[in-house]
Amino acid sequence: MNSKNSLLKIVLLDVDAIGRDLDFSALENLGTCNFHSYTSADEIIERASNADIIITNKVKIQKTHLTNLPNLKLICIAATGMNNIDLKACEDLSIEVKNVKGYSTSSVVQHTFCFALNLLTSAPQYYNYTASGAWLKSKVFTNLDYTNRDLEDKVWGVIGLGSIGKKVAMIADAFGAKVQYFSTSGLNNNSDFEQVELNTLLKTSDIISIHAPLNEKTKNLIGAHELSQLKEKSILINMGRGEIIDSQALADKIKKEDSYFGIDVLENEPYLENDPIFLVKEYKNLLLTPHTAWASKEARSRLLIGIIENIKLCFNL
């Protein structure tokens, strides 16, 4: 993936995090592009030594790296969150940092309902039932071994009513669910839905989805006490960050099998072999995906377009 006759030197440190299936031709038209599947902390300086632009999704870039990259003018974050970059050091060194907002909203919302509807209807269990050939042997036209519930008239609680949370609330409302929300920042007020305290939301919601950022207010927001307040057979979906829910407390709750869980984010990604969630990954009340809610092909294409626009704006192209 290299462009000849280029003006800018562009290094993408972790292309596998945004996908090699994207069309990078528009980016390559802007300069000489060097793509790396993944870059460790020890490899950053060598790989970006002559770079004008670094593109990174999750690679952490610290002051010790930045002071050894004399040509660096712009860091493009292939994400919304900027916590993997030493922003103060960038400011001191006059290095611009640009992220991309809003590209994954539709993808995350879609994944949220994928989890909710699969857990409400026991679709994975029924797929396994039919695929195993058990239906072939049945004398009855249907099978009612697993729970199949309506979304209509359920209470859907949203934790974090930002752009993603609002869209989830609107779609849940369209399904006929009653929507209530808890604002983790205390700043989101929406007259269309009922605002409640966290304890009330946990105790009264049939489905709860988390769409909050990770910060000092939300880290370990949901611990053992909070999980103990969930309604029986309720569904908890985490689309925010893994650290919002205490991992051990979550694993313990999953083992009780009195609630259902859709988890796309974990404290350690990839998870570790001794991660509490790894040890319960095969429980039938759990759906677990590897941080893919954001990553529809369309969302990643929008992300790349946003990165290219940031480069063009920075260099007046």
Q: Which helix (H) or strand (E) holds 235?
A: strand 235-238
Residues 6+ apart with CB under 8 A from 176: 151, 152, 153
Q: Does domain 8-101+297-315 have CATH number 3.40.50.150?
A: no
pLDDT string in tens for the chain (317-residue length): 444 445 899 999 999 999 999 999 999 999 999 999 999 999 999 999 999 999 999 999 999 999 999 999 999 999 988 889 999 999 999 999 999 999 999 999 999 999 999 999 999 999 999 999 999 999 999 999 999 999 999 999 999 999 999 999 999 999 999 999 999 987 777 788 999 999 999 999 999 999 998 888 999 999 999 999 999 999 999 999 999 999 999 999 999 999 999 999 998 888 888 889 888 888 889 999 999 999 999 999 999 999 999 999 999 88
Taking the mean position of all CA atoms in its chain, how far away is CA 291? Answer: 5
Whether 241 is catalytic: yes
Using a cut of 0.85, tell me whether the model's pTM lies above it: yes
Whether 291 is catalytic: yes
pLDDT at 268: 87
Contact 222, 192 (CB under 8 A): no
pLDDT at 83: 85
Catalytic residue among 149, 194, 291, 309: 291
The domain ranges of the chain are 8-101+297-315, 105-288
Contact 169, 161 (CB under 8 A): yes
pLDDT at 1: 40
pLDDT at 280: 86
pLDDT at 6: 54
Catalytic residue among 111, 211, 241, 302: 241
State the angle between helix axes of 297-315 and 105-121 in degrees (0 to 180), rounded to the nearest 10: 160
Structure tokens, 214: 């990770």
Catalytic residue among 28, 194, 243, 269: 269
What would the CATH number be for the domain defined by 105-288?
Answer: 3.40.50.720
- CB neighbours of residue 131 within 10 Å: 9
Whether 269 is catalytic: yes
